[in-house]
Amino acid sequence: MQRALSFNSSPRLGVPLRFLINTPLFVLLAALLLLWAGPSALGSRWTGHALALTHLFTLGVLASAMIGAMMQILPVATGINMLAPRATSIATHLLLTVGTLGLAAGFLTVNPALFQLAILLLGGAFAWLLISGFCGLWRDRRQATKGSTEILVATRLALAALLVTVVMGLLLAASFVWPLPVSRLFTDLHSAWGLLGWVGLLVMGMSYQVIPMFQVTELYPKVLTRWLAIVVFVLLLAFGANLLRDPLGGVEIGYTLAILLLLAYGAYAYATFRLLWNRKRPQADTTTRFWHTAVFCLAACIPVWLAQIIMDADRAVTLGVLFIVGFAWSAVNGMLYKILPFLLWYNAQRDLDVALREVPKVKQILPDDMAARQYWVHLAAVAMLVAASLWPADFTRPAALLLAVSALWLAANMARALLFYRRALKNIACALAVHHGQGVGPHAGSDPS
Q: For residue 26, which amino acid is it? A: F
- If pLDDT is split at 50, 70 and 90, which confidence band does 187 have? confident
Give yes or no for residue 441 having a pLDDT over 70.
no
> What percent of the chain is modeled with pLDDT above 70?
93
- For 307-356, write each residue's pLDDT tens digit: 887 777 788 899 999 999 999 999 999 999 999 998 998 888 877 777 67
Rounded to 5 degrees, what angle do the CA atoms 427, 430, 433 make?
Answer: 150
In the prediction, which pLDDT does 11 show? Answer: 85
pTM of the model: 0.91
Share the mean pLDDT of the chain.
88
Backbone phi, then psi, for 373, in 5-degree steps? Answer: -65, -40
Element (H, E) at 384: helix 368-390
What's the CA gap between 178 and 249, in Å, rounded?
A: 30
What's the half-sphere exposure (Cβ side, CA atoms, 13 Å) at 44?
3
In the prediction, which pLDDT does 1 show? Answer: 41
Cβ atoms 69, 339 nearer than 8 A: yes
Closest CA to 407 of 55, 60, 54, 38: 60
Distances (CA, A) of 370 to 267, 286, 287, 414, 417: 32, 9, 12, 10, 11
In the prediction, which pLDDT does 442 show? Answer: 45
What's the CA gap between 101 and 195, in Å, rounded?
A: 20
Number of residues that make up the chain? 449
Classify the C-alpha dihedral 331-333-334-338 as positive or negative. Answer: positive
From the CB of residue 309, how many other CB atoms can be counted at a distance below 10 Å?
A: 13
In the prediction, which pLDDT does 150 show? Answer: 84
Which of helix, strand or coil describes residue 63?
helix
What's the CA gap between 327 and 345, in Å, rounded?
A: 28
Burial grade of 252 (CB within 10 A; 0-12, 13-18, 19 or more): exposed
- For 11-69, write each residue's pLDDT tens digit: 888 999 999 999 999 999 999 999 999 998 998 888 899 999 999 999 999 999 999 98
Give yes or no for residue 229 having a pLDDT over 80.
yes
In the prediction, which pLDDT does 361 show? Answer: 86
Give the highest mean pLDDT range of 64-73, 247-256, 289-298, 363-372: 289-298
End-to-end CA gap in the chain:
23
According to DSSP H, which parts of 350-367 are helical? 362-365
Give yes or no for residue 117 having a pLDDT over 50.
yes
Distances (CA, A) of 107 to 116, 139, 174: 12, 39, 12
> Where is average pLDDT lowest: 178-192, 258-272, 428-442?
428-442
In the prediction, which pLDDT does 444 show? Answer: 44
Domain ranges of the chain: 290-432
Give yes or no for residue 185 having a pLDDT over 90.
no
In the prediction, which pLDDT does 428 show? Answer: 83
> Where is average pLDDT lowest: 99-113, 172-186, 236-250?
236-250
In the prediction, which pLDDT does 78 show? Answer: 81
In the prediction, which pLDDT does 271 show? Answer: 94
- If pLDDT is split at 50, 70 and 90, which confidence band does 432 have? confident
Cβ atoms 204, 230 nearer than 8 A: no
CA torsion, points 77, 82, 86, 87, in degrees to nearest 10?
-170
